Structure 1
Amino acid sequence: MDIFKSKPLKLASAGFYILLMIVCFYCACYQLPVGVKYGINLLVVGWACLMFFIHPMFNRAIFCLRFFALFFFPYLMFWIWSVAIWISEFQTFNYILRGSLNIFYMATNILFAAAAVYLFGEDTMPLTLAGMALANGLVALQVAARAGIGTFISEYIRLLITFADDTGGAMRQMELHDMVYGWGVMVIYYAIHKEKNHKTQAVCFLISMLFFTLGFKRIAVPAALGAAVMYHCLCRWKPKHIRALANIMALAAGGCIFFYLWLIKSGIFVELANELEIDLMYRDVIYTYFSDFFELAPSYIGRGIRFIYTYCTEDPSYHLATTALHNVYMETYIEVGFWCWWIWILFELSFRIHRVEERYTEIPAYALMVMNLYVFFTYLTDNTLFYYAINVLYRMAIMVWCLEVSENGNLLDSETRSLAAVKESRQKKRNKKREEENVEGDFHICV
């Protein structure tokens, strides 16, 4: 189903969207003021609202709003909890406003993803990729022009051969943190999502791989590879109890991450890294400094969202050379405390998967599980919780996948069953369970 009925209007709209994406992701390449991309977010949201009034598609609008709520809930929880902390500490209005800005920016990111899917449906991902590639390609041309094409290519080859151990000046300029993690999402998406046109899928995958390796973050490579392998394993294994699997994985992941925080706080993590001669790249200093800022106990309620950045930029006693922890788990725990931290982990890794599996069958749920693996892996060494590209794209990818299932009743899953057949089978199981419960109840009455 298309919002844009006429072909010329559809092509013009696609071209305008790609142009907006070029500007948006050129901003994510640190070439434009940071607020530009958030302005474009709101522009696309306004565009979607206008098209809804002109040609409303109620089912798709409800679909997009449902996913907005599903994706925004953790950030809303962080903000409400932080407001309570700020009020209890009698913080100033300016302090509260600064702390709230990141939540507002993330709201515009998720609204933008929902609006783009409403406007372009299944075409959203390739159109977004086109804008990303042109923006990142423009930066690559600028870097190659300054360094020389020969130097650019030779440094790129050395980067690949040495697994980013030998990084020249040109490749350092291509290490665009915000973009490279977004390209990782694209690599995973086109590695696991079956497009109607296999040639288009191959081209999109190769483009994504090119820019993903140009930026080359070592933590992202095993994360993307592991996500793709995990998806294909799930599709072959076809676990019957995906909810139980998601619950077990969420609890196991939460426990391991909590243990990781304990290792950091106790100083064992830094000691082990030093003994193994692992270069933590200044993280040992940061972790040691902030390890006294929190307690690993249910009584620890946090210090409010954005506390770390505010403390690092405004407290005169702070003397380190960075304003971020480069560890999302530690930073989030310090800011929102024990209970919010655990709710966030379990909601992301368990509850959201339940909702997707219940409404859109197992395959999109598998996709969400592997995207979670990729995103949560990047949290170990970088500040990707609020990065633009990765947060927009992985949510957009899941929404597009679920929309395909929702709007195509004859879409087949890995077990070659249509969505209607899957829903019918589930309803039969529910009816059978009710009948068994009724029979058991009648038996007890008779007894």
Structure 2
Amino acid sequence: MENKILEKAKAFYFMTIAVMMYFFLNEYIDIGLHVTYRHAFALVLFGSATLIFLYKPNIARGFTAFKDACIYSIPLLITTVVSLFIWFMETVDVGVISRGLSSSFIYANMLSFALGSGALLYIFGKKGIWYNLIAILIANILMIVTVIANNGLGNYISEFITLVTTFAGVTGDIIVQAEIHELAFCLGAYLIYMLYKPNKNIIYFILLILSLFCFLSAFKRIAIIAIAIALVFGYLLKFIARYNKKTAIRLVTFFTIVVVILLIAYIALIKMDAFELLEKAGINTSGRVEIYDAVDKFYEFSPGFLGNGIGFLTYQLNTFMKVGVASVHNDFLQHFIDLGFFGY
């Protein structure tokens, strides 16, 4: 009985920290450096799980959690190594390097989240991925409830319906407050898995409905399109693999090459002012033409373009440029400018 109470208390503690990690996305602690609460809470998760491991170690689960945390850290490792190479080749000063590393390891820090996810896996085992989803949903719903409390349920529902029926063509002032982009993409990954591997379970169904609601409240069109493509491709591969696994593997290789070519071509189109042509054709690009023109001087579309190092573009936009935005709102272009042709 006592052990069950302790286990529930432990689960409640870790879930509370996880919810706060996802709820306080933009708030930060000013200690000379701006350390966001989300990273602090992720490290609290890791530290707490480490203490439990030291007190009563589960070696097998600990190894699995550590291995997964290392896998989650690979993107940060790659961007850091590429950036160090760029800085070495360009012989930049120490200030540029420290600024880039602080951007990478303090603000856009995937390492703390990798450690936090490893902590949840260690504490909850394979159910950790679902506890993580529950934490995301609780945080997101709390944000939406706050928006509703300030503006009224009827107004929120009205704008939500308009948002969905116009495919985000019309976005009201109220619903835009519920556009939690960071959580939307997290939920998108879960939705792909849940729709690809459906489960006849009431808890699964509730999580799916809540995930869809929170995801649609943010309504990232690019994410919706990505989910649709991923599901079509996933079911196509599953169908082909039933008859010939080698063909399915070849298809994966082919589509990977196609995606790489398309991503490179996308940067080329931006460099050739394709978005300006869209504006002239009467298509609203939401200010992207002005933003892309402003950052055009920072890159060349060429295999010889090494890049500027991680954090470069964000620093330029926030410090020297007056374009009314703090980011380029295009992760592909951001990575190309920061990491160069081959790093991208």
Partner deviation per Cα, 1:53-84 (whole Å, 9 max, x = no partner): 23333333333333333332332232123224
Report the count of equivalent residues.
332
Aligned to 1:422: none
Aligned to 1:340: 343
Report the Cα offset of residue 275 of structure 1. Answer: 4.4
Aligned to 2:15: 18
Give the letter aligned to residue 257 of structure 1: L
State whether residues 87 and 309 of structure 2, in contact with CA within 8 Å, keep that contact through their aligned partners in structure 1: yes
Aligned to 1:49: 50
Match of 2:256 among 242, 245, 250: 250
Question: How many angstroms apart in 2 are the aligned matches of 1:173 and 1:243?
Answer: 43
Aligned to 1:9: 6
Aligned to 1:359: none
Report the Cα offset of residue 253 of structure 1. Answer: 0.9
Aligned to 1:40: 41
SS at 2:308's partner residue? coil
Question: How many angstroms apart in 1 are the aligned matches of 2:72 and 2:20?
Answer: 25
Match of 2:303 among 275, 293, 298: 298
1:330 and 2:333 equivalent? yes
Give the letter aligned to residue 282 of structure 1: G
1:232 and 2:235 equivalent? yes
SS at 1:219's partner residue? helix
1:311 and 2:316 equivalent? yes
Report the Cα offset of residue 258 of structure 1. Answer: 0.8
Question: How many angstroms apart in 1 are the aligned matches of 2:238 and 2:5?
Answer: 39
Question: How many angstroms apart in 2 are the aligned matches of 1:77 and 1:19?
Answer: 32
Partner deviation per Cα, 1:331-390 (whole Å, 9 max, x = no partner): 11111112222xxxxxxxxxxxxxxxxxxxxxxxxxxxxxxxxxxxxxxxxxxxxxxxxx
Give the letter aligned to residue 218 of structure 2: G
SS at 2:343's partner residue? helix
Aligned to 1:118: 122
Question: How many angstroms apart in 2 are the aligned matches of 1:97 and 1:280?
Answer: 35
TM-score, scaled to structure 1: 0.68
Report the Cα offset of residue 251 of structure 1. Answer: 1.7
Partner deviation per Cα, 1:249-274 (whole Å, 9 max, x = no partner): 2221111111111111122x124413
State whether residues 23 and 139 of structure 2, in contact with CA within 8 Å, keep that contact through their aligned partners in structure 1: yes
Aligned to 2:285: 280
Give the letter aligned to residue 263 of structure 2: I
State whether residues 27 and 37 of structure 2, in contact with CA within 8 Å, keep that contact through their aligned partners in structure 1: no
Partner deviation per Cα, 1:417-443 (whole Å, 9 max, x = no partner): xxxxxxxxxxxxxxxxxxxxxxxxxxx
Aligned to 1:265: 271
Question: How many angstroms apart in 1 are the aligned matches of 2:165 and 2:27?
Answer: 29
Note closer, same or farther for the CA distance 1:229–1:85 as it changes in structure 2 (3 Å cut).
closer
Note closer, same or farther for the CA distance 1:74–1:145 as it changes in structure 2 (3 Å cut).
closer
CA RMSD of aligned residues (A): 2.4
Higher RCO structure (Cα 8 Å, ≥6 apart)? 1
SS at 2:305's partner residue? coil
SS at 1:321's partner residue? coil
State whether residues 76 and 103 of structure 1, in contact with CA within 8 Å, keep that contact through their aligned partners in structure 2: no
Aligned identity (percent) is 26
Higher Rg of the two aligned structures: 1
State whether residues 75 and 103 of structure 1, in contact with CA within 8 Å, keep that contact through their aligned partners in structure 2: yes
Aligned to 1:440: none
Report the Cα offset of residue 27 of structure 1. Answer: 0.8
Note closer, same or farther for the CA distance 1:31–1:148 as it changes in structure 2 (3 Å cut).
farther
Aligned to 1:208: 211
Question: How many angstroms apart in 1 are the aligned matches of 2:76 and 2:27?
Answer: 27
Note closer, same or farther for the CA distance 1:11–1:192 as it changes in structure 2 (3 Å cut).
farther
Give the letter aligned to residue 259 of structure 1: A
TM-score, scaled to structure 2: 0.87
Partner deviation per Cα, 1:136-191 (whole Å, 9 max, x = no partner): 22222222122122212222222222222222222111112222222222322322
State whether residues 83 and 304 of structure 1, in contact with CA within 8 Å, keep that contact through their aligned partners in structure 2: yes
Note closer, same or farther for the CA distance 1:175–1:308 as it changes in structure 2 (3 Å cut).
same
